[in-house]
Chain A
């Protein structure tokens, strides 16, 4: 994740929201649970400690109640995405045609087709999954 953060710092034209506050993250996890949405995975929490929302060339990593309107909120985006009832999934980002999701059952990050929610690929590492959704090479 540290390497990803270093890589993101160097991206020109990227927009980011300041880090999330730990207490807010804890509270937010409770809200996710109350709303039957999977909890945020550990390495994504690390990402939130650096960026509570990140945008690059039309691709987004969502945040937890980000201050600026421009960055999307995880709870709200999960509502808008209208994913068929699946308590094991939390959507964490999107680009033109894909969602970045975490599947707690399989313990993997998944790239889902926005249109039919089919799984296009999976990652064990949160960093590579975030690279994928932000359209950065994962090699």
Chain B
């Protein structure tokens, strides 16, 4: 595309971004602005003074509804589609939501005592008194081979994620070390497994797995770094900033301006043909935070083209489309075949 044409489109893009920001700001202030105290209240009385609380509430609602519909029309005119959730498809349960987040972010949150299953908690507490002894002071009661994780409905969900699947042997070893009786496994819930994974991480003093987020950022930098640089140049981003963003991505980190977005919302992961592909690269798009990412989450959320991998603007000139061949080659270069690539 000619530079002059791109520059023209950039101008329009900037106007669109400014308009969305303005409308969102207006909505953020519409409900409250009139209730903020002014420095000199005597001289500047608001036109809303004297209205009852109910009248004021009605007025606020009318204003916000109007602004929301304006933002909605605007986003629709830019090619975004409001997400329609079918009530027949169940939403993610709390443990499913947490499971997806843990796989994606790799962040460990110690479960609350009330989250554990009763039998796991009982045995966990029974073992507390053994913790003062050296590792080899008490002969192990069970061997890792005694554990059949497939007996647990929670594990049967977790094993759909490659990150958890690769921990199977280590989980069995840790269960044996913690003296958890094998029959308990069938009753273990997601949080019990998280507790075991945290023990594994503490013991090895390292993260139990590389988060999907980190893997995806590295993959994006490797597969789409060139196109990303070109778009950022068109957007007039300083070259050193773009290079620093890419350098961070190669380390699996995001910068403060961009974030990854799930095209199919985590809460609605059962809408996917294979729900456990929710954290796969194919369901992820890199986007600017404000207003792009925020607009994708506005209201009930908006759907974008499934083939987009970088949403750098509402204009397709600032977007990158997926190249599955390039992604496959990248995965192969990491020693991962098609089968493994699918589960990333």
A22 at the interface (CB under 8 A from B): no
Residue with the highest number of chain B CB atoms closer than 10 Å, among A80, A98, A138: A80
List residues 287-323 of chain B with CB under 8 A from any CB of chain A. 289-290, 293, 297, 299-301
Cβ-defined contact, A113 with B97, below 8 A:
yes
Number of A-B contacts (CB under 8 A): 102
A114 at the interface (CB under 8 A from B): yes
Assess A58 versus B258: contact at CB under 8 Å? Given A76-B25, A118-B94, A122-B112: yes
A92 at the interface (CB under 8 A from B): no
A121 at the interface (CB under 8 A from B): yes
Expressed in whole angstroms, the Cα–Cα distance for A11 and B112 within the complex equals: 26
Residues of B within 8 A of A82 (CB): 299
Residues of A within 8 A of B258 (CB): 58
Task: Point out the residue from B31, B109, B253, B260 that lies within 8 Å of A79, measured CB to CB.
Answer: B31
A55 at the interface (CB under 8 A from B): yes
Residues of A within 8 A of B198 (CB): 139
Cβ-defined contact, A58 with B259, below 8 A:
yes
Residue with the highest number of chain B CB atoms closer than 10 Å, among A14, A27, A76: A76
Cβ-defined contact, B267 with A136, below 8 A:
no
Q: Separation in Å of the B60 CB from the closest CB of chain A?
A: 9
20 inter-chain pairs at a CB distance below 8 angstroms, sorted by A residue, are A14-B256, A31-B36, A57-B259, A58-B254, A58-B256, A58-B259, A70-B290, A75-B28, A76-B29, A79-B29, A79-B31, A79-B64, A82-B299, A116-B267, A118-B97, A119-B94, A121-B109, A135-B107, A138-B108, A139-B108
